[in-house]
Amino acid sequence: MNITTKIISLFLSILLYSSNIFSGQAIIEKVEAECNYKRLCKFNVTIRHADEGWTHFANGWQIFTPNGDLIGHRALAHPHVNEQPFTRSIRNIKIPANVDTAILIANDSVHGKSDRKYVIKLTFTDY
């Protein structure tokens, strides 16, 4: 094997290895939050994940305050192999008085919590 072939082989190995590390995690692509004056919010969360069936699928997400307090969790009970990305909702999440930002993290059945966080600024209606 010549040096060029070795370099190409090494590059392809690194590329394949790094894509496998990150491709398996569930990723939140979009969040819409509707919050009322009682500080109760509905979150519509769009997730993308290469669901493979029951052995590896996006199985939920968590909602945290900026200081790390868990304020909501949505479990997903089954794979969405043929529905990507997909959107699901959770209602009546109580937002503490001193909080105006939420951090959402998706998780899957193999990797657990994703390394990527989705941050959203919340606005509250007056009615």
Instruction: Provide the residue-wise pLDDT of the chain in tens; the chain has 127 residues.
Output: 566 544 544 444 444 444 444 458 999 999 999 999 999 999 999 999 988 889 898 999 999 999 999 999 999 988 887 888 999 999 999 999 999 999 999 999 999 999 999 999 999 998 7
| Residue 10, domain member (yes or no) | no
Domain extent at residue 68: 26-121
| Residue 98, domain member (yes or no) | yes
| Residue 32, domain member (yes or no) | yes
DSSP label of 109: T
- Cα four-point dihedral sign 33, 34, 37, 40: negative
Output the pTM of the full model. 0.79
CATH code of residue 103 = 2.60.40.150
> What per-residue confidence (pLDDT) applies to 23?
54
| Residue 76, domain member (yes or no) | yes
Counted domains in the chain: 1
| Residue 18, domain member (yes or no) | no
